[in-house]
Amino acid sequence: MPRASGPLAEALSRRVVVLDGGLSNQLADQGCDLSGGLWSGRVLAERPDQVLAAHTAYARAGAEVLITASYQVGYASFAAHGYGGAETTALLHRSVELAARAAEAADHEVWVAASVGPYGAVLADGSEYRGRYGLGRRELAAFHRPRVEALLEAGPDVLAVETIPDADEAEVLTAVLAETGATAWVSYTVAAGRTRAGGPLAEAFAVAAASPQVVATGVNCCDPQDVLPALEAAASVTGKPLLAYPNDGSVWDGATGTWQYPSASAPWPTAAWQRTGARLIGGCCRIGPDRIAALAAER
């Protein structure tokens, strides 16, 4: 069937749309090796069949948006592992093509969102949970622009600008979006009522609110308990649809490359999220197809 019947923004104006879950945990559950600095990008390069299988698992669970495996694909980081610029561009294209194949095979409409991760993601040291990389805006734009352009060449339905740790990087990314005219959502990673870099949430969400290219804004890869306060902060500065795709409450330790797990699962008050304006809901790291199926059944 056709991938989707219209723009994602139109669907969000009418109803809640279900996102997929964490790609890395699904790949790990399928037996893939995610070790090394390329993380899921390694699987994209070496085992594209497994990426397709992971997308398909989420589509079968009821996900209506599939996020591509491009989160940690960067030109400089892949060059350090022997990939030329053309090869990296081909991998960015492949990430969209694989998600599109899974979307087109689904029995319901599915949008493809090309993941644009933060600069810190390619460092593979947890920097996306700290931000403030010490780079100027020109350097950040030079990092993001070619990735965004390559992803757009492959024809996704929308860009997923995700796991952004601070308003500064969001401002750079929205400027790149303005250059390209691409539509996107902008999602921050947050903790304790602030961005991961320690900035005020209202200020961060105001950046997304001011961009005509941004169709939704909210949070991802955060503790479920941090979602509602963040959505309330977003709702205070924008009338755009909101989004939420938290992890399971685990904390990533960049030094050891391991997750620190919560003692108990935090509740997901999705009804409260929706009352606050959330129209795009799913999961991030360590959230699998079972949880997405439950979200789809609740919708």
Of the candidates 191, 183, 142, which has an alpha carbon nearest to the alpha carbon of residue 163? 191
Task: Give residues with Cβ within 8 angstroms of 116, minimum separation 6.
Answer: 70, 71, 144, 147, 148, 151, 159, 160, 161, 162, 173, 184
* Residue bearing the bigger pLDDT, 37 or 297: 297
pLDDT band at 269 (very low <50, low <70, confident <90, very high): very high
Summarised one tens digit per residue, pLDDT across range 27-63 is 999 999 998 889 899 999 999 999 999 999 999 999 9
pLDDT band at 206 (very low <50, low <70, confident <90, very high): very high
Check whether 262 has a pLDDT greater than 90.
Answer: no
Check whether 264 has a pLDDT greater than 80.
Answer: no
Quote the pLDDT of residue 184.
Answer: 98
Mean per-residue pLDDT, 8-32: 97
Summarised one tens digit per residue, pLDDT across range 121-150 is 998 888 888 888 989 999 999 999 999 999
Query: Taking all residues of the chain, what is their mean pLDDT, rounded to a whole number?
Result: 94
CA distance 191 to 230: 9
Summarised one tens digit per residue, pLDDT across range 210-227 is 999 999 999 999 999 999
Check whether 1 has a pLDDT greater than 60.
Answer: no
Check whether 292 has a pLDDT greater than 80.
Answer: yes
Quote the pLDDT of residue 3.
Answer: 80
CA distance 99 to 268: 27
Summarised one tens digit per residue, pLDDT across range 270-289 is 999 999 999 999 999 989 99
Summarised one tens digit per residue, pLDDT across range 63-117 is 999 999 999 999 999 999 999 999 999 999 999 999 999 999 999 999 999 999 9
Beta strands of the chain (E only): which ranges?
17-18, 65-67, 111-116, 158-164, 184-188, 190-191, 194-195, 214-220, 242-245, 251-253, 258-260, 278-281
pLDDT band at 253 (very low <50, low <70, confident <90, very high): low
